[in-house]
Amino acid sequence: MSKQNESTPSSITVPVLRAMKDRGERITMITAYDAMTAKLVERGGADIVLVGDSLGMVVQGKSSTLEVTVDEMIYHGQMVARGLKHVHLVLDMPFMSYQVGVSQAVHNAGRLIKEGRAHAVKLEGGAEYQELIARLVRIGIPVMGHLGLTPQSIHTMGGFKVQGTSTDSANDILHHAQALESAGAYALVLEGIPQELSQMITQALSIPTIGIGAGRECDGQVLVVQDLLGMDMDFKPKFVKAYESLGERIPRAIQKYRDEVRAGIFPGDEHSYFAKTPLFRPGDSAGSERASAALEGERELHKA
């Protein structure tokens, strides 16, 4: 990709996303963690690409998102940005990159924009981050919120459990959603909550809501690309729909490759390179022997 393409601004901007909600046009967000996947996701028509701290689990094979660092988010953000031309790019602020204080959070958010090439950052949490969100928005960093099941708080929640299932907890999440909008968040991810609650929040807010395990009434939906493609046959939560079965198809392709290598079928002539002129004279089977002898003679000359 050329430098010109790399610096091309996103054509799907914050105002565009707000206008999509106003028109009743659903928003599609998908995760990506590398340039090739990002290119394919954009080609498929996604509106937003999220480099989630889910990379800790999906890419790094860890049991949670808690160990992901700002440097790792920047690294993956740079790769994804190289694969995109027009799609809105959001990077997660990982655990402990913004919880200590506003100054620390502003510094890290700035790095995700400047070094990670994000168009916006996403952070988990509610009204307790109003001041931070307002500060980031004032200095030109768009913020996407995240409520409901927030993976960075799994120890507090007791694991990956549906949130907002009681009247009190539902009202609490609604209050936090309104607080985030008031602080200047331009969109809000709702994860792992009842559809009735996400519908109420979506209707109450003027900013887009993007659901994952939150029902169909949100303004948009997000899925992890590996889940969408059915790459992990052992991971099948209720909220995921696999649109492909690459977890089955990819091993079959690899097995076929292995079988052809073992049988001597691959590579064939069509996969091989051939010299345009003869490399050795007819009947000359000692070409390689003469080359070795010449090399040995050169070594003897240096010794002398």
Residues belonging to the active site: 191
Rounded to the nearest angstrom, the gap between the alpha carbon of residue 254 and the centroid of all alpha carbons in its chain is: 25
Q: Identify which of 18, 27, 15, 87 has the alpha carbon closest to the alpha carbon of residue 51.
A: 87
Rounded to the nearest angstrom, the gap between the alpha carbon of residue 70 and the centroid of all alpha carbons in its chain is: 14
How many other β-carbons are positioned within 10 Å of the β-carbon of residue 301? Answer: 8
Contact 144, 121 (CB under 8 A): yes
Residue 143 β-bridge partners: 121
Contact 72, 97 (CB under 8 A): no
Contact 42, 235 (CB under 8 A): no
Could you give the angle at which helices 102-114 and 130-138 cross, rounded to 10 degrees?
40
| Parallel/antiparallel/unpaired status of strands 88-92 and 209-212 | unpaired
Cα–Cα dist 17/274, whole Å: 54
Contact 118, 48 (CB under 8 A): no
For 301, the token pair is: 């000359």
Contact 67, 164 (CB under 8 A): no
HEC secondary structure over 229-287: CCCCCCCCCCCCCCCCCHHHHHHHHHHHHHHHHHHCCCCCHHHCCCCCCCCCCCCCCCH
CA distances from residue 204 to 186, 188, 195, 198 in whole angstroms, order as listed: 14, 12, 14, 10
For 228, the token pair is: 């969408």
